[in-house]
Structure 1
């Protein structure tokens, strides 16, 4: 069904989108039976399926896909439900979009497949789903990064990101590919003192540890979470680092939907080692899945307070703020990061994107100029600058945006 852009709410397509966004399954079913257009788009280019995807309303998204909604329809940010679900680790919807005809060759506005943001954010199961679907493990995005480079540059080298890196390396990721500055994943791992990640890149596997751990990791790759949890048992016979035990028990419980139990495992790890700040990010992700946004943000703040000069927790917090459409707060976090590392072109780029979302087009243009000062030939930055200039040209820009969405439909 052809998508239509509408700016008013007196339309059954708008009612369907609103019901999908708030998670009202009964209203969605009633509107579908009444013939509401599946792929009607609002002024932001969103369909009902995109709204359900962004809110991670799994059953509603699956119902819309079953009804024939287009999983490849893009919004004004060039995201489709398929790309959005993969980037946010919404695995049930991600699977449904792939079953529903997702174009696995499609890329987001950063020139990335879902594998790259999944690796960047530490969504281990999503990474495995992408690899199982055949997404290229060495795809290079507009920043010049592969999934492996994203996981090392933007990760913290902790247990979760070590597992992400190990998964990518096992899938054949080329450890020698370099970013636009000529630096490999090995170089970044050394520079950031990510010793376990460095070992994985060089040796192709985790450092030797207690025998159960490798079996647990294999079961995780197969998504056999209950079997892996049974193997760990109560931990009484575990002969290794207690933090490893808490991490894997917490991870497995989380993937089984037992988020409160997972949080308890991570809290126990912090009780034993308060400086193990990676566990704050694990708790934050559990709270995110429970839709406790403010509690999740406070958990990121706890990690930041422990290590204010380290970029990881603040960057992950800014990602989550963008997901929540709290772009003004995301910009504030990026400003702190840029004060610490003013030559990070990717930080300037993310700031520019949030500023554009806020309608701060002059600031967005200034930020992208800063990114270009670091990387002047980057085609992604050049295109962003041109679009920012277009948005500054006058009052007709809103109509231009709507026309662009209609054209893509």
Structure 2
């Protein structure tokens, strides 16, 4: 009974019930039907104070649920920056991997969670680890990123930490080659020159931000904007990003929206606004930002793919499957799209369809054990119905 109360309190963020359950003898490592501990549930809900109390009480930051996810990797995969230091201090296994064979650095790089990437690097998560899809964090940031302001900084952080742009994916293509094929000029500048040309104001602001002096960083950006410099769009990005780090989400959205209003081709800002809405738990508003960008660039797989990421995170797997179908129409040979589609279908209990979807991934990469393992799991679930 007290175990159930503990798990429910973590789901709701009810600290009073949480403390009562602990005092009454609830087991720290009690699990729900999904194999989630109290710490995993609190992590998924981003309840910082509850997470801190659980770790202080001895909760295992490396305990896995039935999907093989740990609280540490879960925090990184969702960009919950404030939880990362707590997890590291609580004994997180920095080289541990999820069911796709990826460390905490891979999903955070894929999704453009810059602060999380920086924290994982600082903690010592290996930067050149390759997952079972054959991708490193750098490959994920290049292939699944858009080469814009945010992903440029993600890639700069990875390269500065020793990430190798010559590591090849399972098709024999490196990050450098992918960046060239995608014509990501900002990324190529980092790979080829080790740096990116930016104004003195931006460099100064980034230095302040690296020292956690966000107010000073914002002041520098505001002054540069008032001076009517030539890099207004980039300045608006950093203004929005620093405000976002300060959790001033409406003000961050206003800054990002100013960039869109001044240049309607700057679609990347819809991605930034979507994340601000996501962090405020405004799911529909987040998805609406993706839809705005998709309407303007329907063949841009970046927005469709990251919309599917959000849909899976929100548990909206039916729509996620529809989006993956759109992606596969645009790029039929993308076996990673088929893989994600299969996972959503399995979550929906549509196991035969999941098997059919994973077969496409196997056809493209027959030697990858990740796909055959997931196919076997879907077959097992189908036979168990």
Change (3 A) 1:223 1:372: farther
Instruction: Give 1:33's aligned residue.
Output: 23
- Residue 239 of structure 1: how far off its partner (Å): 2.7
Equivalent of 1:153 in 118, 140, 143: 143
Is 1:60 aligned to residue 50 of structure 2? yes
Map of 1:231 onto structure 2: 220
Following superposition, the deviation at residue 198 of structure 1 comes to 1.6
Question: Unaligned regions of 5+ residues in structure 1, if any?
Answer: 1-10, 396-409
Contact 2:358 2:375 in 1 (8 A): yes
Task: Tell me if 1:212 matches 2:201.
Answer: yes
Name 2:33's counterpart in structure 1: 43
Question: Which one of the candidate residues 100, 103, 106 is aligned to 1:116?
Answer: 106
The 3 A distance-change label for structure 1 pair 217 and 39 is same
Q: What is the aligned partner in structure 2 of residue 138 from structure 1?
A: 128
Is the contact made by 2:222 and 2:239 (CA closer than 8 Å) also made in structure 1? no
Q: Does 1:307 align with 2:297?
A: yes
1:52-91, CA deviations, whole angstroms, 9 ceiling, x for partnerless residues? 1111111112122122211111111111111100111011
Secondary structure of the 1:230 match is helix
1:63 and 1:326 map into 2 onto residues whose CA distance is: 31
Q: 2:117 aligns with which of 111, 115, 127?
A: 127
Distance in 1 separating the partners of 2:372 and 2:212: 41
Query: Structure 1 residue 190: deviation in Å?
Result: 1.6
Displacement of 1:137 in angstroms is: 0.9
1: CA distance, partners of 2:369 / 2:205: 42
Which of residues 15, 21, 27 in structure 1 aligns to 2:11? 21
Instruction: Answer whether contact 1:225 1:256 (CA < 8 A) is retained.
Output: yes
Give the structure 2 partner of residue 99 of structure 1. 89
After the TM superposition, which residues 318-329 of structure 1 pair with which residues of structure 2 at under 5 Å, given as runs?
A: 318-329=308-319
2:161 pairs, out of 149, 155, 171, with 171
Structure 1 residue 232, shift from structure 2 partner: 1.8
For residue 96 of structure 1, give the secondary structure of its aligned residue in structure 2: helix
Aligned length: 384
TM superposition shift of 1:294: 0.8
Encode CA deviations 1:248-295: one digit per residue, 9 max, x unaligned. Answer: 000000001111110110111111112211001100101111111111
User: Would the aligned equivalents of 1:61 and 1:93 in 2 still touch at CA under 8 Å?
Assistant: yes
Cα distance per residue 1:23-51 (max 9 Å; x no partner): 11111111111111111111110111111
Aligned Cα RMSD in Å? Answer: 1.3
Q: Tell me, in whole angstroms, the C-alpha distance in 2 between the residues paired with 1:240 and 1:50.
A: 46
Higher relative contact order (CA 8 A, sep 6+): 1
Distance 1:303 1:56 in 2: 28
Corresponding position: 1:202 with 2:192: yes
Q: Which of these residues, 386, 391, 406, is aligned with residue 376 of structure 2?
A: 386
Verify: 1:279 aligned to 2:232, yes or no: no
Work out whether residues 95 and 126 of structure 2, in 8 Å CA contact, stay in contact via their aligned partners in 1.
no
Bigger mean CA deviation after superposition, 258-267 or 53-62? 53-62
Q: Normalized against structure 2, the TM-score is what?
A: 0.97
Confirm or deny: 8 A CA contact 2:109 2:141 kept in the other structure: yes
Q: Partners in 1 of 2:379 and 2:212 — Cα distance?
A: 47
CA distance in 2, matches of 1:218, 1:303: 31
Instruction: Note the alpha carbon deviations across 1:280-331, whole angstroms, 9 max, x for none.
Output: 1100101111111111111111111110100111111111111111111111
Task: Tell whether the 8 Å contact from 1:287 to 1:293 is kept in structure 2 after alignment.
Answer: yes
- Who is 2:252 aligned against? 262
